[in-house]
A and B are shown apart, each in its own frame.
Chain A
Amino acid sequence: MMDKRTLALFAGCILFGILPMFINPYWTDVLNNVGLYTILALSLNIILGHAGLFHMGHAAFYAVGAYTTAILNTQYGVPVMYTMPLAGLLAGIFALIVARPIIHLRGDYLLIVTIGIVEIVRIALVNDIFGLTGGANGIFGIARPSMFGFKIKKPEHFFYLIWGFCLLTIFFMHRLENSRFGRALNYIKEDDVAAEGSGIDTAYYKLIAFVLGAFWAGMTGTIFAAKMTIISPESFSFWESVVLFTIVILGGMGSIRGVLVGAFLIIGLPELFRELAMWRMLVFGLAMILMMIFRTQGLIPPPPRKYDVLAYLKDAIKPSAASAEGGAR
């Protein structure tokens, strides 16, 4: 018998799942964007939320993934979905190369270097690096993806692809949060000197956090390229990184639910006020300031980790008590 909360969650998921049948393609597309940003923000959450590394250049990794897919598909005719693991892998390798020399930087220094990286990547793309990226116009004519012989082309098809992948991401992130790796990252965030003192190889863990986050962003890049069919350097500007950064901080660092709510608020909510186009961003900026003043920890900060010490002690005492009894006999 499932408890009420799980039941409500399932009902909510099913309701959300049949939503595309009732809303027009425009709003389905808005939900698709929210989904993409959710996945990206969740991948940034490993680096920024869990490891506490000030990383404002996530669009660079996203760009590597999207361009990998676009180039492989348009130049070599590789089917889009097959390029996904490779897009992730290349983004991960790219992250490994650029993050390795800067991993020892702290706080604001890291922040500004990652901004530098995302700008260099964008300029490289604009300048048609290796003659592959198509310059400022980007690459167009990326094929629609197909899965199990089904061609994904309409917004509602993408809805299921994106939110399916999002569900997978949430599951993966949830597992990560409670793993040894997740705990080590949290320790580094709270106090990296103490973490190092406790035998955690901080540079190694930070690097893995970067590579994992980049790998996931790269795979999301594939979906983005497939959805848009046209990609250009402007899609991966510094501004995109700022939006992702804001989603994570505003939602609550290190909290999956927070990131979900943050993505809906930052990507979805402005769509409701389309008529106010000119004033929208002004209010958006003001809202960011007010949010931080009145809810400094973000909307839904992660619950503090709890350990049931009593249960743990009981568990630890029992076998030894039993063996002590055994010894007495």
Chain B
Amino acid sequence: MEEFFQQLTNGLAVGGIYALIALGYTMVYGVLKLINFAHGDLFTIGAFLGLTLLTSLGLTDHLGAFAGVVVLAAMVIVLVGLIGFLLERTAYRPLRNSPRLSAVVSALGASIFFQNAVMLIWGARPLVYPHNILPKTIVSIFGMDVPLVRIIMLGTSLVLMYALYYLTHKTKIGAAIRAAAIDQGAAKLMGIDVNRVIALVFCIGPALGGAAGVMVGLYYGQISFTMGWLYGLKAFTAAILGGIGNIPGAMVGGLLLGVIESLGAAYISIAWKDAISFLVLILILIIRPTGLLGERVADKV
């Protein structure tokens, strides 16, 4: 029971990170029907930018741990959001009306570009985050010991997810995003500037990914330039698990995948950890291709 509870909390903490990255995939897929393969690498950029800002500006020394991390996350969110915006402008907008596969190859190209840019700027060796920022306190919940870090991780991702949910479901601009996802043509006729909506989505998605990058750096301590693609793949799995294009789906899918993976690693085999999540993905797609929360859409002929 103790072991199970430990794995569950660990799974939820990692799942929150998956969910944050998955939101970027799902939002972009919602409006453009494009798998943004470069998204995982934007997450990596977030992690590296975070480390550079943290060490060069000494934020946590001046502002204290909590305020320092918040300011750091805000800066990374803005910077990575900007990179996402530029990415859309240069690599995806010219291909808006091209065959789907051309945009996929362009996305793969962008992924290779970013990955190697990170390697050239920060070097090929893994870098280490300072490990004295987050508290090492262990709190006890229902008599079980849980590291406080896990609760902070889960809490932060939930707060960011709620902020996004509020933005997309309660505000006017959110309504525009959802409208553009359902039918771009009709959205245009209703006076929505679809180009601006897409640009906005490409800011928000990568921004959340960048925040997730900082969280991974703080949680695991080590970051490397290749980590983006595995996290990206897992997050995409999470997005499909919840039903791609569906924002609450990505949140649920991310948390679920984190828990499945963590329990699978503990009770089945740690060496097969990654294979288990992909197997779950394949089974979900065979049994329920639209994901857990996705609705069935009739085929257009």
Contacts and interface: CB of A to CB of B under 8 A. Distances in A.
A292 B120 contact: no
A84 interface: no
Looking at B29, B100, B101, B233, the one whose CB has the most chain A CB atoms below 10 A away is B101
A282 B109 contact: no
Interface string A280-309: 011011111101110011000000000000
B112 A281 contact: yes
Contact of A120 (B94, B109, B279): B279
Contacts of A112: 35, 236-237, 240, 281, 285
A185 interface: no
B237 A116 contact: yes
Nearest to B239: A112
A127 interface: yes
A283 to B, nearest CB: 9
Interface stretch (A6-14, A35-43, A102-110, A225-233): A102-110
Interface string B193-228: 000000000000000000000000000000000000
B113 A296 contact: no
A273 interface: no
B91 A289 contact: yes
B285 A281 contact: no
A289 B110 contact: yes
B98 interface: yes
Nearest to A98: B282
B147 interface: no
A104 B299 CA distance: 13
A238 B278 CA distance: 13
Nearest to A128: B271
A80 B78 CA distance: 57
A278 interface: yes
A29 interface: no
Nearest to B109: A288
A130 B258 CA distance: 28
A115 B275 CA distance: 11
Interface stretch (A87-95, A168-176, A242-250): A242-250
A51 to B, nearest CB: 13
A284 B114 CA distance: 11
B106 interface: yes
Interface in A141-168: none
Interface string B236-277: 110010001000000000000000000000000101101100
Contacts of A108: 29, 33, 35, 244
A236 interface: no
Interface string B27-61: 00100010100000000000000000000000000
Contact of B274 (A113, A123, A284, A286): A123
Contacts of A127: 269, 271-272
A292 B98 contact: yes
A120 B286 contact: no
A292 B103 contact: yes
B112 A288 contact: yes
Nearest to B120: A278
B171 interface: no
A285 B111 contact: yes
A193 interface: yes
Given A293-B95, A296-B98, A119 B108 contact: no
Contacts of A107: 100
Nearest to B124: A278
A296 B101 CA distance: 9
A178 B160 CA distance: 55
Given A119-B274, A292-B98, A296-B99, A109 B113 contact: no
25 contacts: A102-B282, A108-B29, A113-B282, A117-B278, A123-B271, A123-B272, A127-B269, A127-B272, A193-B299, A245-B105, A245-B108, A249-B104, A278-B116, A282-B120, A284-B109, A284-B112, A285-B112, A285-B115, A286-B109, A288-B112, A289-B110, A289-B113, A292-B105, A293-B94, A297-B99
Interface of A: 54, 101-102, 104-105, 107-109, 111-113, 115-117, 119-120, 123-124, 126-127, 193, 238, 242, 245-246, 249-250, 253, 278-279, 281-282, 284-289, 291-293, 296-297
5 closest A-B pairs (Cβ-Cβ)? A288-B109, A285-B113, A285-B112, A116-B278, A289-B109
Given A120-B278, A288-B108, A289-B113, 18 more contacts: A105-B285, A108-B33, A109-B240, A109-B289, A112-B35, A112-B281, A113-B285, A117-B282, A193-B299, A246-B105, A249-B102, A278-B120, A284-B112, A285-B110, A286-B113, A292-B98, A292-B109, A293-B91
